[in-house]
Amino acid sequence: MIPESMRRGWLSLSATQKIIVGVVGALLVYGLFTMGGNLISPARLLAVAMIIFVALPVHEYAHAAMAVALGDPTPRLQGRYTLNPLVHIDPMGAILILFAGFGWARPVQWNPRNITVDPKLGSILVALAGPVSNILLAVLGVIFFAVTDGVNNQFVTQFVIFFVQINVLLFVFNLLPIPPLDGSHVLFALLPGDTYTLQMNLARWGFFILIAIIFIAPQIIRTPTDLIMQTLFRFVV
């Protein structure tokens, strides 16, 4: 029997937590092998920093701002109605942005009972606010690319492409209808009747479904990401 004093660190984790840590480790290794030299290129590191300290806070602020605009003071009371990255950043999600190209910030909490519109409509609006902010940042990045393309600066070009790509990937990733992603809230709001059982089942297996998609069927994320990027650059540049 292991003494209580030794049940720290790895031994103190539940089976599910150990699986999550293992999967995150696998994702980090996956990033190292798939991104090669691009992983630590100065342009990509700057883009990742912009994602962590700008895009992710904007994403979470968009959720908070929409909830507050609909009448719920919860994000404001919890200090999340701000662009300050320090209150939004999740360390593990930030590390994954660097190694895997996607990640997350601390989710904003809000109370649908406080809003002034239909709760299902409110859920859709609050959920979509975050991903929409990412696509808007991607559009701004493409516009910046169009404006600065004439300088013929490889560093600027690579930085903008990485920044746009990660924002579009976050847009697509967050719209997957799998808990805890934003797309799941849209799905549950659109489905008729009581969806509690479905929500509980998907919430239980959501993380593992996401991991299966990332490792087994990454094109579910990559294909729409590439199509959106091509469309943005085609129409803006």
CA-based Rg of the chain, rounded to a whole angstrom?
A: 19
Annotated active-site residue 60? The verdict is: yes
| Catalytic, out of 60, 62, 80, 101 | 60
- The 10 Å Cβ neighbour count of residue 68 is 20
Residue 46, burial from CB neighbour count under 10 angstroms (0-12, 13-18, 19+): middle
If DSSP codes are grouped into helix, strand and coil, which group holds residue 102?
A: coil
> Which of 131, 115, 120, 128 lies closest to 67 in space, CA to CA?
115
Helix, strand, coil % in the chain, rounded to nearest 5: 75, 0, 20
- How far from 121 is each of 70, 109, 127, 136, 151, CA to CA, in Å? 10, 17, 10, 22, 45
Q: List the catalytic residues.
A: 60
